[in-house]
Amino acid sequence: MKIKVVLVLFVVLGINVYAWAQLPAEWKNAQTLRIDRAGWVKISLPIETLSAAKPDLEDLRLLDPAGKEIAYLIERPVQAAPAVKQANNLSVTLENTRTVAIFYTGLKAPVGSLTIETPAKEFIKAVSVEGSSDNGLTWQMLVQNTSIFHRAETKRLQVTFPAGNRPKLKVIVDDSREQPIPITGISIHAVEKDPAPAEAIPITLTSREENATQSRLTLKLPGDHLTLAALTVETPEQLFTRKVMLQHRAYIDNEIHETILAQSTLYRIAVTGLEPVSCLGFAEDVKVPSRELILTIQNNDSTPLPITAIQGFRRPVYLLFLSSGPMDYRLVSGNPDCPAPRYDLTDLKTTMNAAELTAAVFSPLSINPAWKPPETLPEVGESGTPIDLSKWKYKKPVVISRPGVQRMELDAEVLDLSLPSLQDLRLVKNGRQLPYLIERSWSQRDITPELEKADDPKHPSISRWQLTVPYKRLPLTALECEIGTTFFKRQVTVSEEIPDHRGNLKTVIRGSGIWSRTIGEKKKKLFLPLCSQMVTGRLILTIDNGDNPSLDIKSFRLTYPISRLLFKSSSREDTFLYFGNPAANLPHYDITLIADHFLSAEKSQASLLPLDKQEETSWQKKYRFSEKAIWLFWIALGGLVVGLLVLISRLLPKPDP
């Protein structure tokens, strides 16, 4: 009996070992899922499965215990747009201190909201909605004293109420606070019977940056290749309106930029006597290519919005297939080179639509024993083309902490001494170029200038300062100023005096605007956007005080954008960044074709050391040699002139005694 049990266990274990041995070696990840019934099944794929596969799941394969590939379909539910119809027989009348609009919906489906159409701006109104199912003989209150408004670029004209089949509706707008607004139309929204499913996901706030006008929050999602159902901001602020943008980094036009995935306006408005209204979520059905996102909140002249949490919701991704019975299946993924499978299941979509969501038990994602881990971005080699560095003026050593993909921020000195387009940058190791990508960021660094009062006695009503920075050509974006004066309004201009070829100074405006503050307003920093690139490293700030006293200036600060390089280095050998060649062209590297892989790869932080002053570059040696040659030329020329003068003086006739 014991021998039989041992043989059975051996056979079972042998089958399992054989099944694992038959996993295709090209696939990195393997995962087991248990299905307890036969027939068409629909299962929700875990986030870790979506993250391990390619963005569109082209490399996902489903295998039975014998290693046979099972055909499947992928379903990605999204929220269907509800039916919208214009109101029929709209009648609008003014009744004392209210505007009443009565109309027919014209929809047989349940109605759950409506949108008021008006050209009016700068208003806030209380609105009530009543419904009737007997052609207006009796009315039922659906929602009372909710708010509609239009303030600046933010508006809320949609009113939501309990859904129902009501052929006739009445909208009552309270005009007791403000003048009536014209109602030019009303749109009715049907209720979607089956709202798209959504699952809560954890969102991690990894960093927060503040500047004069915006807050930038770096968010980390629990996985890659997710489709957001919504992103919701939690804040204790009771009264606010903010424009928001959701961004991610992508490679565009030979550089890495931050591209916008979604944008909206969030608000919370509470008016005395009215029901509070708010909109704290956005980014519905937005597909995000990576797990790192940037949430930008535009504060303008308001204080930064306090954020206590970010809530996220995702659309599930369903896998549909025909199960042969209760058994364990395996999902394999992680093959970047395989194409999408082609299964002949298109004619069975109607049958599969009836498949119910089935509970499946997934094992943790594991590494396929037959898979050999490849090198990080093996396509990117380090045997770049040789380069003649004689025309490059500057170089800085690069510090690499560990091999792999590197992210390195360019310091202010590099931005100052290189070309504005950064096309003269070269990463060099062992005399050969290392290919790189340029990452442009909306994040800012700041620098404190040296201040010098430069008032003109001829213009006593104008305050004038000279701001000097050690970098002449730093690409500045804004001037921030802290002012202690309680209330004021001043015209502000930032200019630069640039000498022409004759040495005459020409004034170039770098930025202008109006700084103002009213009583009771918080003493936040004021800023002035700057354009173009400096030439001299000296800016002139002028403030027109009119007939008012000078402002109480506390401090100045200049900001410039952050730029980074992404590259791969497999060793810590001496690597240098060369720059300062006005004749250099923009390099063209093949890694631009796989920029997405660079962005998604795990990165190490590389850094720059100070300028290498111990060893002169060939450019510096040539420059110093030419400089000595010029001095020798002028000395020789001077000696020649003196000799000619002496000779001429001897040849001239002597005056008579």
Helix (H) or strand (E) holding 337: none
- Give me 265's structure tokens: 């306006």
CA distance 264 to 297: 10
Mean of the per-residue pLDDT values of the chain: 84
CA distance 434 to 567: 7
* Biggest CA-to-CA distance, the chain: 149
Which pLDDT value is given to residue 278? 87
Indicate the number of domains in the chain.
4
Q: Indicate if 21 and 160 belong to the same structural domain.
A: no
> Is 649 contained in some domain?
no
- Those residues whose C-beta lies under 8 Å from the C-beta of residue 185, and which sit 6 or more positions away, are 86, 87, 90, 117
Which pLDDT value is given to residue 145? 87
Q: Indicate if 450 and 577 belong to the same structural domain.
A: yes
Q: Indicate if 299 and 427 belong to the same structural domain.
A: no
Which pLDDT value is given to residue 347? 56
Which pLDDT value is given to residue 219? 93
Q: Indicate if 441 and 565 belong to the same structural domain.
A: yes
Q: Indicate if 247 and 355 belong to the same structural domain.
A: no
Looking at 147, 171, 190, the residue that finishes a domain is: 190
Q: Indicate if 99 and 174 belong to the same structural domain.
A: yes
Which pLDDT value is given to residue 111? 92
Which pLDDT value is given to residue 14? 38
Q: Indicate if 174 and 299 belong to the same structural domain.
A: no
- 601 phi/psi in degrees, rounded to 5: -75, 150
Radius of gyration in angstroms for the set of CA atoms belonging to the chain, rounded to a whole number = 35
Q: Indicate if 556 and 445 belong to the same structural domain.
A: yes
> Is 281 contained in some domain?
yes
Structural domain including 43 reads 2-76+317-367
Q: Indicate if 287 and 325 belong to the same structural domain.
A: no
Q: Indicate if 330 and 408 belong to the same structural domain.
A: no
CA distance 87 to 365: 54
Which pLDDT value is given to residue 606? 92
Q: What is the pLDDT of residues 147-173, one digit of tens each?
A: 899 887 788 899 999 988 889 999 999
Looking at 145, 169, 190, the residue that finishes a domain is: 190
CA distance 302 to 304: 6
Q: Indicate if 536 and 619 belong to the same structural domain.
A: yes
DSSP string, 578-647: EE--TTPPPP--GGGGGHHHHHHS-EEEEEEPSP--SS--HHHHHHHHHHHHHHHHHHHHHHHHHHHHHH
> Is 639 contained in some domain?
no
3-state secondary structure of 305: coil
> Is 645 contained in some domain?
no
Q: Give the β-pairing of 404-409 and 603-608.
A: parallel
Which pLDDT value is given to residue 654? 62
Q: Indicate if 303 and 354 belong to the same structural domain.
A: no
- Whether 143 and 161 have beta carbons less than 8 Å apart is answered as yes
Residue 252: give its domain's CATH number. 2.60.120
**Residues in the chain with pLDDT values less than 50:** 1-21, 614-616, 619, 623-627
> Is 629 contained in some domain?
no
Q: What is the pLDDT of residues 239-296, one digit of tens each?
A: 888 999 999 887 776 677 788 999 999 998 877 667 678 899 999 999 998 888 999 9
> Is 404 contained in some domain?
yes
> Is 460 contained in some domain?
yes
3-state secondary structure of 610: coil
Q: Which amino acid is at 398?
A: V
Residue 110: give its domain's CATH number. 2.60.120.260
> Is 100 contained in some domain?
yes
Task: Identify which of 49, 84, 410, 117 has the alpha carbon closest to the alpha carbon of residue 255.
Answer: 410
- Whether 336 and 329 have beta carbons less than 8 Å apart is answered as no
Looking at 141, 170, 190, the residue that finishes a domain is: 190
